[in-house]
Amino acid sequence: MFDLTNKTILVAGGAGYLGSQLCEAILLHNGNICIADINLEKINSLKYSLTQKFPDSKIFSTMLDIKNENSIIESVNKTNEYFENINGLINATYGTTGKALEELTAEEFNNANEINLTGSFLLSRHAITKMKEGGSVIMFASMYGIVSPKPNLYPEGINPNPIEYGAGKAGLIQLTKYLASHYGPKNIRVNAIAPGPFPDIKKNDNYNEEFLDNLRDSTMLKRLGESKEIAGPIIFLLSEASSYVTGQVLKVDGGWTAW
């Protein structure tokens, strides 16, 4: 039911913290992957380690800048030429500035949302043209596309999760529902995942402990998400196990948005 044999999944942002876990999970479930990311160094290092771990799997990669429609078209075409079909798309990219509301310029707001919204729209539209046998599209939204960050969680000196990010993720949720409605008759399902707190602690040793405690305390499970905990919901949404699920937002947030 969860098997992905002969399924090709294009993973945009695939070299990132959560994206790389998904690439590995797809290979574990016998699927093929295309790692598509703007960071060539991270693509190469992930491709190398996954090829060592899964020597019999088909792993393709392409450099993608989701802000550039020509780059989207090239990535989609190259993936389709290599595998002769695309069955799934995961979009795990995002744009943000980290800036406080008063300091954010219009240009920065728009730049971030060229990734969160415009790029996400164009990538899905182009990838879906290659899904000849139906498919599954998964957008990475966020709990902050559903609820607003609580100012009291942020110790002095740390800006609340920024407005362009949450506004973009909220838009991405509506984009998901619109695409699900539009492409449903073609047997293409479109869903969003809304993760809660999954900080990449290894990447940043400067995480503020008080802030991390506040994040833990805001979940019902009283802990942070581990990157591997995103894989199960994604495999579910890619596979036949979710064949009647579309237009939904699956919250993977330890209960954050439920109270």
Ligand X SMILES: NC(=O)c1ccc[n+]([C@@H]2O[C@H](COP(=O)([O-])OP(=O)(O)OC[C@H]3O[C@@H](n4cnc5c(N)ncnc54)[C@H](O)[C@@H]3O)[C@@H](O)[C@H]2O)c1
Binding-site string for ligand X from residue 189 to residue 228, where x marks contact by CB under 6 A and - marks none: ------x-xxxx----------------------------
State the pairing for strand pair 88-91/135-140: parallel
Q: How many binding residues for ligand X (CB under 6 A)?
A: 26
Q: Give the range of 79-87, 91-99, 155-163, 176-184 binding ligand X by CB under 6 A.
A: 91-99
Q: Does residue number 231 form part of the binding site for ligand X (CB under 6 A)? A: no
**Residue numbers 94-113 binding ligand X by CB under 6 A:** 94
- Residue 226 to residues 41, 67, 200: CA-CA distances in angstroms? 24, 29, 9
Closer Cβ to ligand X, 66 or 137, answer by number: 66
SS3 10: strand
**Residue numbers 34-53 binding ligand X by CB under 6 A:** 37-39, 42
The angle that helices 17-28 and 231-238 make with each other, rounded to 10 degrees, is: 50
Which residue has the CB atom at the shortest distance from ligand X?
A: 16
Of positions 4, 10, 11, 19, contacts ligand X by CB under 6 A: 19
Which H or E run includes 161? none
Q: Does residue number 256 form part of the binding site for ligand X (CB under 6 A)? A: no
HSE (side-chain half, CA atoms, 13 Å) at 248: 14
Shortest distance, position 32 Cβ to ligand X, whole Å: 20
* H-assigned helices in the chain: 17-28, 40-53, 69-83, 106-113, 120-128, 163-183, 209-217, 231-238
**Residue numbers 126-155 binding ligand X by CB under 6 A:** 140, 142
> What single string gives the DSSP state of each residue in 176-236?
HHHHHHHHGGGTEEEEEEEE-----TTT-TT--HHHHHHHHHTSSSSSPPPGGGGHHHHHH
Q: Token pair for residue 74?
A: 């090239």
Shortest distance, position 1 Cβ to ligand X, whole Å: 25
Q: Give the range of 15-23, 98-106, 124-132, 183-191 binding ligand X by CB under 6 A.
A: 15-23
Q: Are 230 and 193 in contact (CB under 8 A)?
A: yes
Of positions 22, 34, 64, 215, contacts ligand X by CB under 6 A: 64
Where along the sequence are the contacts to ligand X (CB under 6 A)? 12-13, 15-19, 37-39, 42, 64-67, 92-94, 115, 140, 142, 195, 197-200
